[in-house]
Structure 1
Amino acid sequence: MNILLIGGNGFVGQALIKKFTENKVKVSYLSRSQNRSITSEEANWIQGDIFNLDNIMIKESYDITIHLIGTIKNKNLYSKLNTESVAQTIKLCQKHNINKLVYFSANGGFKQYLESKLNGERLVKDSKLDYLIVRPGLMYGKDRLTSYFNILPIKFFSKFGITFFKNVYPLSVEKVADTVVKSIIDNKDSTIIHIKDMK
């Protein structure tokens, strides 16, 4: 099995690479810049910008692409990074005969953010590729210490049944990565991994 991560040098990408490496799965990541903390033994780096497909040089064949590009902070980039980058990733898959796409969406969040992620989901579902949509809540982990700041208040308010806080229930990035990698390795038939599946 050969996996290609799109935007895989960030928080979630590093966790996935670690889990794939532990399971002896070959993985590459495509990004504009190389993450020096990811060794060549762990993953192969492909330099490229998903918005410039003609300049991306892919020499290997891949079974699955995992889309990880996105933003929650910059509202001005919601459309570009959370939706348009998905369309570009689908074109990349079609161009290189990659038959399955895993898309990291969202289970909740502010209205514009969630809409941009759901628009990405619609593109994936309409692509005619095999797909797996992952809907985590707020992710936290030791590689992003600031991610711990919101955990306790969100967990506290989620106990009162407030929908917003239940939908963004915090999950460790390691737990999310482990669930996704196991689903891929076990070749499960599910097309969506819900937040409850990762708790």
Structure 2
Amino acid sequence: MNILIIGGNGFVGQSLIKELTKCKIEVSYLSRTQNHSISKDEATWIQGDIFDLNNIMIKESYDIVIHLIGTIKNKNLYSKLNIESVAQSIKLCHKHDINRLVYFSANGGFKRYIESKRNGERLVKDSKLDYLIVRPGLMYGKDRLTSYFNVLPIKFFSKLGITFFKKVYPLPVEKVAESVVKAILDNTDSTIIEIIDMK
């Protein structure tokens, strides 16, 4: 199996690469810049910008694309990074005969953010590709120490039954990566993974 991660040099991408490598899966990641903490033994870097498909040089064949591009912080880029980038990944899949797309969406969040993620989901569902939509909450881990700051308050408020906080329930990024890789290897018929599936 050969997997291409779009936007794979970030926090979630690094965790997925480690998990996929443990399972002896060939991995490449497409990004504008190389992450030097990802070794060549773990993954092959393909330099490119998903918004410039004509200049992306893909020489291998891939079974699955995992789409990780997105933003929660910059509201001005919701349309570009949370929606348009998904359309570009779908075009890349069709162009290179890649039949399966794993899309990292979100389980909850502020209104405009979650709307942009649901719009991305609609594009995936309409793509005519086999797909798996992943809906995590807040992800935290040692490679992003600031991610720990909100974990305890969110867990506390979610236990009080406050819906907003239940929908963004924090999970270790490694646990999310394990769940996604397991779903890929099991070739599950499920099309959506929710927080409850990753706990």
- What range describes the TM-score normalised by the shorter chain of this pair? over 0.9
Structure 1 match to 2:124: 124
Could you say which residue in structure 2 is the equivalent of 1:56?
Answer: 56
Q: Which amino acid aligns with 2:22?
A: E
CA distance in 2, matches of 1:134, 1:90: 16
Q: Could you list the per-position Cα deviations for residues 103-132 of structure 1 after superposition, in whole angstroms to 9, with x for gaps in the alignment?
A: 000000000000000000000000000000
Hey, what's the Cα distance between the residues in 2 that align with 1:125 and 1:119? 10
CA distance in 2, matches of 1:70, 1:10: 11
1:81-115 CA-to-partner distances (Å, cap 9, x unmatched) read 01100000000000000000000000000000000
Q: Which residue of 2 aligns with 1:155?
A: 155
- In 1, the alpha carbon distance for the partners of 2:78 and 2:152 equals 26
| Structure 2 residue aligned with 1:23 | 23
Q: Equivalents in 2 of 1:19, 1:124: separation in Å?
A: 24
% identity of equivalent residues: 82
Q: State the one-letter code of the partner of 2:80.
A: K
**Structure-1 residue corresponding to 2:5:** 5
Aligned to 1:80: 80
For 2:87, give the aligned amino acid. Answer: A
Distance 2:88 2:123 in 1: 10
CA distance in 2, matches of 1:87, 1:23: 29
Distance 1:158 1:93 in 2: 38
Instruction: Give the 3-state SS of the residue equivalent to 1:102 in structure 2.
Output: strand
Alignment-mate amino acid for residue 83 of structure 2: T
* CA deviation profile, 1:29-69 (whole Å, cap 9, x unmatched): 00000000000100000000000000000000000000000
Deviation at 1:174, TM superposition (A): 0.1
Aligned positions of 1:184-195 closer than 5 A: 184-195=184-195
SS at the partner of 1:8? coil
Distance in 1 of aligned mates of 2:189 and 2:139: 25
Residues 1:164 and 2:164 aligned together: yes
Structure 2: runs of 5 or more not aligned: none
2:5 is paired with a residue whose SS is strand
Kindly report structure 1 stretches of 4+ aligned residues shifted beyond 3 Å: none
The one-letter code of the counterpart of 1:189 is D
Q: Which segments of 5 or more consecutive residues in structure 1 lack a partner in the other structure? A: none
CA distance in 2, matches of 1:127, 1:153: 38
In the alignment, the residues of structure 2 paired with residue 79 and residue 99 of structure 1 have an alpha-carbon distance, to the nearest angstrom, of 25
Query: How far apart are 1:186 and its partner, in Å?
Result: 1.2
Amino acid at match of 2:144: R
Does residue 134 in structure 1 map to residue 127 in structure 2? no
Counterpart-to-counterpart distance in 1, 2:183 and 2:26: 16
TM-score computed with the length of structure 1 as normaliser: 1.00
**Aligned-partner residue type, residue 97 of structure 1:** D
Q: How many residues align?
A: 199
Q: Counterpart of 1:4 in 2: which secondary structure?
A: strand
Kindly report the root-mean-square deviation, in angstroms, between the aligned alpha carbons of the 2 structures: 0.4
